[in-house]
Every structure is written in structure tokens, then in C-alpha cells.
């Protein structure tokens, strides 16, 4: 057993869809055939099953870089080859609506923190796997899901916003979240194919409330099914 995941070799698929919120993982598990809860140790809720006969794992990664890096390392030890982060994001574009999808072309971040330690102080370029990203974007568009493509910003702290909002917009950041840069940096270092599909849970520019997993469930199931179809087909 690993320190944070109660799983053995064979329990985890080569493809994983990971989300910050354990409730979203539980929701998506209903899409899997033979879905089995593998672990819930230390808040990392993990299910494995089959989607269209394709073996896939769903896992929650918690909040922020340190939490997602811990899950990443242990999933890799258990044989994961591809990861799609399916998380929530705060919109920085007026036209974005609650439940829209954002496919990240890259993830900017502030210097320091978890990424600094993981990359030996080098300034890496957190970019997703292009083929996987293209397939996800195409699938979402084919399913008529309102989808945006662009650079996101991975924040180190949730409650730091108003003073830098205009800076994010100035540099054409489309939305804010907290984990993509860490995932994509680790994936570059460890040679894992990764991509990020985010769901708008609130609008930073419109100052809306942040919608809950239950309120977003219909959107999450539609986007989640598109992600699973993409992994099963490619």
C-alpha cells in the first residue's frame, strides 16, 4: 500500500480522470460499468470501472498544488499513463456562462511554491499533451457543449483576487483555477500525457456565487461523459 492511496497494482487503470471535489468523482462513477470504490483514504476518493469497455479510474485530488502532486505521484507508481483533470474554474470572460467548458492550452502561475520544488527551480512551460487536448476539444464541440480554448492561471491561494484581476485579464488569461500548472509540470517531468478540461463554476468578472457540485451536476455529467468517450476512443 502507498502512503495516501489504499490501492494495489491492477486496481488503477492506465487512464485517469481526476477532480478536486470528491462529490464530482462520485457523480461520474455512475457512468462506469462495474464501478468499484478503491480508496477514500485521506480524502483521495478513487473509483475504477469500465466506460464502453475501456478501463478507467476516477480520483479526487483535493485543493492546490501539494495535494494534486501527491495523488499524481502515487497514481504514476500504480501505472497511470494518461490523466485528464476535470475541475472547476472561475471565468474571466464576460461571455462565459455557468457550466461552460474550458480546455486549457497552458497554465500560467506565480513563481515559487510546489512547482519550484518539483522543477529544481527551473521555469518550465506547463503545457498539455496536444493530441489529447485536441481530441477533448473536438469531442466537446461535436457534442454541442459550449467550450472555450485558452490559457488558464493556477493560483497558489484561493482568497487572493481583486488586486490582480486586471493583470490576469491583461495577459489574456481566460479563467482561474489552482491545480493545472502543477499537473502539467509534473506530467512534463514524468512523461505522462495530461490535459485539463475545466467547468465554469462562477464568474469572477460578473461576481457570481460559486455553484456547488450538486448545482453543477447536469453540466458535469455531460462534460464528464465527453471526457470518458474521448479516452475510450483514443
- CATH classification of the domain holding 86: 3.40.50.1580
In this prediction, residue 161 carries a pLDDT of 57
Instruction: Give yes or no for a contact between 154 and 102, defined as CB atoms under 8 angstroms apart.
Output: no
Compare 197 and 2 and report the one with higher pLDDT. Answer: 197
- Please indicate, yes or no, if residue 194 is contained in any of the structural domains: yes
- Please indicate, yes or no, if residue 7 is contained in any of the structural domains: no
In this prediction, residue 85 carries a pLDDT of 98
54-60 and 175-177 strand pairing: unpaired
pLDDT at 122 over 80: no
- Please indicate, yes or no, if residue 8 is contained in any of the structural domains: no
Q: Provide the number of structural domains found in the chain.
A: 1
pLDDT at 103 over 60: yes
In this prediction, residue 30 carries a pLDDT of 98
- Please indicate, yes or no, if residue 91 is contained in any of the structural domains: yes
In this prediction, residue 160 carries a pLDDT of 62
Q: Which DSSP string do the residues of the chain spell out, in sequence order?
A: --SS----TTSS-SEEEEES-HHHHHHHHTTSEEEEEEE-GGG--EEEEEETTEEEEEEE--SSHHHHHHHHHHHHHTT--EEEEEEEEEE-STT--TT-EEEEEEEEE-SSHHHHHHTTT--------HHHHHHHHHHHHHTT--EEEEEEEE-S-TT--GGGHHHHHHTT--EEESSHHHHHHHHHHHT-EEEEEEEEEEETTTTPPPPPTTTTHHHHHHHHHHHHHHHHH-
pLDDT at 119 over 90: no
Domain that holds residue 188: 15-233
Mean pLDDT, to the nearest integer, of 198-223?
96
In this prediction, residue 167 carries a pLDDT of 82
Worst-scoring range by mean pLDDT, 32-41, 46-55, 156-165, 208-217? 156-165
pLDDT at 109 over 60: yes
* Mean confidence (pLDDT) of the chain: 93
pLDDT at 100 over 90: yes
Q: CB neighbours of 72 closer than 8 A, spacing ≥ 6? A: 61, 83, 182, 183, 186, 187, 190, 192
**C-alpha distance from residue 183 to each of 4, 84, 232 (Å):** 17, 9, 21
- Please indicate, yes or no, if residue 2 is contained in any of the structural domains: no
- Please indicate, yes or no, if residue 5 is contained in any of the structural domains: no
In this prediction, residue 162 carries a pLDDT of 59
- Please indicate, yes or no, if residue 98 is contained in any of the structural domains: yes
- Please indicate, yes or no, if residue 4 is contained in any of the structural domains: no
In this prediction, residue 159 carries a pLDDT of 67
pTM (predicted TM-score): 0.94
Cell numbers standing for residue 207 = 461576481
Cell numbers standing for residue 62 = 483535493
pLDDT digits (tens, 9 = 90+) for 135-161: 999 999 999 999 999 999 998 877 665
Amino acid at each position: 500500500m502507498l502512503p495516501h492511496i489504499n490501492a494495489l497494482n491492477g486496481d488503477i487503470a492506465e487512464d485517469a480522470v481526476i477532480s478536486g471535489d470528491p462529490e464530482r468523482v462520485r457523480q461520474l462513477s455512475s457512468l462506469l460499468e462495474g464501478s468499484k470504490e478503491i480508496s477514500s483514504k485521506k480524502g483521495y476518493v478513487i473509483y475504477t470501472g469500465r466506460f464502453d469497455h475501456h478501463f478507467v479510474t476516477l480520483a479526487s485530488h483535493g485543493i492546490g498544488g501539494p495535494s494534486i502532486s501527491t495523488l499524481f505521484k502515487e497514481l504514476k507508481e500504480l501505472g497511470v499513463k494518461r490523466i485528464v483533470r476535470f475541475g472547476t474554474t472561475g471565468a474571466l470572460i464576460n461571455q462565459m456562462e455557468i457550466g461552460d467548458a474550458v480546455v486549457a492550452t497552458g497554465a500560467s502561475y506565480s513563481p515559487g511554491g510546489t512547482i519550484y520544488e518539483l522543477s529544481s527551480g527551473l521555469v518550465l512551460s506547463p503545457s498539455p499533451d496536444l493530441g489529447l487536448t485536441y481530441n477533448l476539444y473536438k469531442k466537446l464541440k461535436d457534442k454541442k457543449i459550449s467550450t472555450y480554448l485558452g490559457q488558464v492561471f493556477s493560483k497558489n491561494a484561493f482568497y487572493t483576487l481583486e488586486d490582480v484581476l486586471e493583470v490576469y485579464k491583461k495577459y489574456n488569461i481566460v479563467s482561474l483555477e489552482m491545480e493545472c500548472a502543477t499537473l502539467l509540470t509534473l506530467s512534463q517531468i514524468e512523461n505522462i500525457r495530461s490535459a485539463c478540461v475545466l467547468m465554469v463554476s462562477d464568474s469572477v468578472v460578473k461576481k457570481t456565487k460559486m455553484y456547488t457540485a450538486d448545482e453543477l451536476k447536469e453540466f458535469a455529467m455531460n462534460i464528464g461523459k465527453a471526457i470518458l468517450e474521448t479516452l475510450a476512443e483514443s
